[in-house]
Amino acid sequence: MLSVSIVCCYVTSCEEAAYALGESGSMKLDQYSLSELNGSEIATFTVTSRSGDTGEKTICPGERDLASIKKEIEKRVEVGNQKVVDKAASLAQRFPGDHSVEQVCEIFEYLKNNWNYTGDPRCGEFYRYANQTIRLGEEIGRAGAGDCDDFAILMAALIENIGGTTKINLVYDEWQGHAYTEVCIGKHNSNDNKVNKTSTWLKKKYNVEKIYAHVDESGFVWLNLDWWADHPGGPFYPVDNHKGFVRVNPHLPIVSLNPPNIPPNPVISWEVEEPNAREPIIFDASQSYDLYGGIADYEWDFGDGVREKGPVVNHTYRKGGPYPVMLKVTDVEGKENRTISSIEVNEPPVAEFSYSIEDKKSGYLITFDASESYDEEDGEVASFTWNFGDGHTTMELSDGLATNFYPRSGTFNVSLTVKDSNRALGVKSIPIKINLPPIAKFSVNNSEPNVGEGIAVDASQSLDADGKITEYRWNFGDGKTARGPQAIHNYLKGGNFIIKLEIIDDNDAVNSTTRDLRVNKPPVAAFSYAPTSPRADGIVTFDADESEDLDGRIVDYLWDFGEGGRKQGFACVDYKYIKGGVYSVVLTVTDDDGAKSSNSKKVTVGEKESSTAEDHRPERGVLAESDKKGLEGWSRTFGGAGQDGGYSVEQTADGGYIIAGRTLDAFGGDDLWLIKTNSAGYRAWDTSFGWEGADWGNSVQQTADGGYIITGYTQDDLGGKDVWLIKTDSAGNRVWDRTFGGSGQDEGNSVQQTADGGYIIAGYTLDNFGGDDLWLIKTDPDGDLVWERTFGGKGHEQGDSVWQTDDGGYVITGRTLDNFGGDDLWLIKTDLAGDLVWERTFGGEGADWGHSVQQTADEGYIITGYTLDDFGGKDLYLIKTDSFGYSEWERAFGGAGQEEGHSVQQTVDGGYIITGYTLDDFGGDDLWLIKTDSSGYRVWDRTFGGAGQEVGFSVQQTTDEGYIITGYTLDNFGGDDLWLIKTDKNGNLVG
């Protein structure tokens, strides 16, 4: 170890005392006092070399006068050297200003943390110029290199070059010498308080209790910047003789460092943890502090437009909500600082209540309801307390309902107090006069008037049990009003209106009632006919296209041709008169509000030209093979001389069609018939199933494996019928078949593959009363019975169609015996296990029957069948229900004859396609195809057939948005042929 000790002979000119500056004051440190070295003093140097623990030392004596040392040190400091000036400025730039404490701390930390120690030459004391030390540092990537005096010189040089005043202290003991720099931070007890501010700031910055400095005889305080210390103002180097110091530039005046400009620190608190609006809050700023002295002023801004001054103030907010509370503090030197805290002020609950009075003969029971009370912030009211104004009160209640019995009438001041979770209160008081309100009633002489028809309203049935009615006020819902117990009003336009009656009794009690009124503008019936001079046995076309409904649309047309013939449901109809004459033709139109209007014309029909009646209609729309090419639609018949018919059709995955029905077998009975066609309707293959008895196929569906499932019936060995279920492969070969039934008549009318791969069948079975029950059968994928359910009573019940619904259950339609001895259309919904969920019936006193049902896109249901019409015939019946089976609308199509719907399907446009039959002009039936919109109103309809019987049993929309229909038609042998018809999307057979 190389150590330098300085032995000085000097005459004291001034002395400096060492102090440790702490929180409790300044403590003098005698062993670290300093004296300035004069120029006449001689320094004798003893350089000692030590190694290990041997204590061996080598002494290298030398002498120098202090004048040369001081001169050399001052020269090495290099105040004004450009290199040193630039380095000092670069280190100080983080803290702009003149010679500040922050700048000195930055310089100290830079040198302290980036210095490499190296010793002086042997037996010599070498002082390096400050700029050389900086350059050396740049070469080695450090702040500098050298021993303690080089560090002290560079420290002093950098501080001097930013305007500070420094001195370098030389200290020693027997074995060692040391040099370090100090900087002037101010004058002790000066009015500028720089020393106190600097020491306070340093203690806070470096988290220490004491700051070490020397105080000279003039009172200037010099801060220790020894590299041995960890921070500016750290402890002195531990040697006993801190005797000598050298002032840098002693001819210049001493300049003190500027302490950091630290503003006071504001602190906000308030007493109430959860303050409420309209209650005083104590705000306290007494915990605010200032590092350098006291706080002179406190200024508050409460965020609601109110300001106050003082360390502790009271403030009351008028309403709840979040508020920014700002506190600005100013210290004794005029420095300001501010802080903002957010306070959440609770808005007390609002008390609201209503009441109702019940006459109990012996008094009045009033029910109070405070459920309208609210607390916008906390969400709910915590408790309710009542004062009923008659001496009775309640404790705090958890809900707002309360009752009180008043034995007599009078006025009572009822008060409600509500409390929220923050225990804030809201109060409301109402003087209640016990008086029974009047009862409002009125009648209307016409519940469905048309425009222009006056209505009379009568409120004479209104009454007031404890007084009299003093005023009647009418509001007719069209902007018109009236007064008095009776009034007459005339509506100038159609629509739905609400008539309101408000009555007031002699105690100012008010009551009111309303009634809905529908005012309709009737449609206008108009028609033309062609030819204008028709003859008997010729076709007359009647066209009602000129009819209109200004406030809706026409939904039905009823034609009376004046000779007993009628047609309904068509705007354009053809009619053939049997003989000449003058006929009064009446057209009655019905609009969508049920209003009717009629128009009549005299039609003169001439006698027929010849006695031969001709059928000018196309024969069933069947085309010759040469005319079939390039057409979107076509017609095909299948069968022989017997009775053949198609009852179910479906488009298959290959674009062809599969049909199930019946055909005459070799024994003179019927066989279940399965026909597969290509996309043009030409037979690909067919197969029949059955024995000597009667066997029918009523329903077919392509299964997931590409095969087919068919249901119908087969004649059993006892002469009855059994439900028959047949599974085939894709070529129509039987895979398996199952029969279900007993000794009676059992039949399967509808089958569908279910989501689990099994099958659901709907039909009927003989019950214990000699009638039929609707029968629902569920099988596994092999056709084995899983469960069965029957529905019905003592009459005849039957299921004609089944559909698995989106929830996994089933919906079935058919018929059931009604209370009039007839049939009602029946709709049943079951769960996945076949257990009844709900059932609905539709119809009147006559016969009503459902033949086909399907779940619609909105999860409701569409059903078709028939209903008995006003002429003793049947109308095609179309019903749309919601998902619970309640009717949304119902439509009937047909005339005086027999019309029936056998199959319905929802189409891609949201409307519906229906097939069945209608009475034709020859007394027979035509296959009928009807397209409706989503509300069940007819878009178009088509009939197919001739003079015989033609019926459609099944329809499906095809992938090209056309339709495929199957049924039967009269053949050339007097029997029926299975009929397959393909139309375009508009129902046209020919494209």
DSSP per-residue codes, 20-32: EEETTEEEEEEEE
Across the range 255-274, mean pLDDT stands at 87
Structure tokens at 508: 């100012």
Instruction: Judge if pTM exceeds 0.85.
Output: no
Across the range 612-617, mean pLDDT stands at 31
Across the range 261-290, mean pLDDT stands at 88
Reported as a single tens digit per residue, the pLDDT across 377-411 is 767 888 999 999 999 999 989 888 999 999 887 88
Structure tokens at 331: 């210290």
Structure tokens at 289: 């502090």
Which of 201, 225, 249 is the last residue before a domain boundary? Answer: 225
Claim to verify: residue 221 and residue 104 sit in the same structural domain: yes
Alpha carbon 486 to chain centroid, angstroms: 51
Across the range 810-835, mean pLDDT stands at 88
Asked whether residue 655 is domain-assigned, the answer is no
Q: What is d(CA 866, CA 171) in angstroms, rounded to the nearest whole number?
A: 125
Partners of 179 in beta bridges: 170
Claim to verify: residue 493 and residue 536 sit in the same structural domain: no
| Residue 520 DSSP code | B
Claim to verify: residue 304 and residue 159 sit in the same structural domain: no
Structure tokens at 383: 């408790």
Which of 462, 491, 519 is the last residue before a domain boundary? Answer: 519
Claim to verify: residue 414 and residue 458 sit in the same structural domain: no
- What is the percent of the chain with per-residue pLDDT over 70, rounded to a whole number? 85
- Count of domains in the chain? 6
The residue written with tokens 């005319």 in the block is 627
Claim to verify: residue 506 and residue 381 sit in the same structural domain: no
Across the range 68-74, mean pLDDT stands at 78
Q: Which residues have CB under 8 Å from 147's CB, separation 6+?
A: 117, 118, 119, 120
Residue, of 1 and 447, whose pLDDT is higher: 447
Asked whether residue 121 is domain-assigned, the answer is no
Least confident span in 220-229, 437-446, 530-539: 530-539
Least confident span in 50-64, 472-486, 512-526, 635-649: 50-64
Across the range 469-495, mean pLDDT stands at 92
Claim to verify: residue 470 and residue 495 sit in the same structural domain: yes
Strongest mean pLDDT among 435-449, 518-532, 886-900, 904-918: 904-918
pLDDT of residue 32: 61
pLDDT of residue 144: 94
Which of 605, 631, 650 is the last residue before a domain boundary? Answer: 605
Asked whether residue 807 is domain-assigned, the answer is yes
Reported as a single tens digit per residue, the pLDDT across 240-249 is 655 556 667 7
Burial 174-195 (b: 16+ CB within 10 A, else e): eebbbbbbbbbbbbbeeeebbb
Given pLDDT bands bounded at 50, 70 and 90, which one contains residue 19?
low
Q: What is d(CA 660, CA 651) in angstroms, rounded to the nearest whole number?
A: 12
Give the CA diameter of the chain.
167
Structure tokens at 752: 């569908």
- pLDDT at residue 652 greater than cutoff 80: yes
Least confident span in 52-66, 647-661, 787-801, 830-844: 52-66
Claim to verify: residue 705 and residue 834 sit in the same structural domain: yes
Across the range 651-657, mean pLDDT stands at 96
Asked whether residue 193 is domain-assigned, the answer is yes
Claim to verify: residue 184 and residue 318 sit in the same structural domain: no
Asked whether residue 951 is domain-assigned, the answer is no
What rounded mean pLDDT belongs to the chain? 84
Structural domain span for residue 422: 358-434
- pLDDT at residue 280 greater than cutoff 60: yes
Claim to verify: residue 927 and residue 904 sit in the same structural domain: yes
- pLDDT at residue 925 greater than cutoff 90: no
**What is the C-alpha radius of gyration for the chain, rounded to an integer number of angstroms?**
56
* Angle at alpha carbon of residue 805, lines to 847 and 938, rounded to 5°: 50
Q: Which residues have CB under 8 Å from 925's CB, separation 6+?
A: 898, 917, 918, 919, 945, 949, 950, 951
Claim to verify: residue 731 and residue 765 sit in the same structural domain: yes
Under 8 Å between Cβ of 621 and 635: yes
- pLDDT at residue 106 greater than cutoff 60: yes
Asked whether residue 976 is domain-assigned, the answer is no
Reported as a single tens digit per residue, the pLDDT across 162-176 is 999 998 887 766 666
Under 8 Å between Cβ of 350 and 312: no
Across the range 312-339, mean pLDDT stands at 90
Reported as a single tens digit per residue, the pLDDT across 191-242 is 878 888 898 899 989 999 998 888 888 889 999 999 889 999 998 887 765 5
Asked whether residue 370 is domain-assigned, the answer is yes
Under 8 Å between Cβ of 346 and 378: yes
- pLDDT at residue 292 greater than cutoff 60: yes
Across the range 51-79, mean pLDDT stands at 64
pLDDT of residue 620: 34
Asked whether residue 32 is domain-assigned, the answer is no
Across the range 836-855, mean pLDDT stands at 90
Claim to verify: residue 207 and residue 82 sit in the same structural domain: yes
**CATH at residue 378:** 2.60.40.10
- pLDDT at residue 138 greater than cutoff 90: yes
Claim to verify: residue 278 and residue 169 sit in the same structural domain: no
One-letter-per-residue 3-state SS of 909-949: CCCEEEEEEEECCCCCEEEEEEEECCCCCEEEEEEECCCCE
Q: What is d(CA 224, CA 237) in angstroms, rounded to the nearest whole number?
A: 10
Q: Which of 781, 760, 761, 802 is nearest to 704 (CA)?
A: 781
Given pLDDT bands bounded at 50, 70 and 90, which one contains residue 935?
very high
**CATH at residue 842:** 2.120.10.30
Q: Which of 710, 692, 691 is nearest to 646 (CA)?
A: 710
pLDDT of residue 9: 26
pLDDT of residue 73: 82
What is the pairing mode between strands 810-817 and 823-830? antiparallel
pLDDT of residue 49: 36
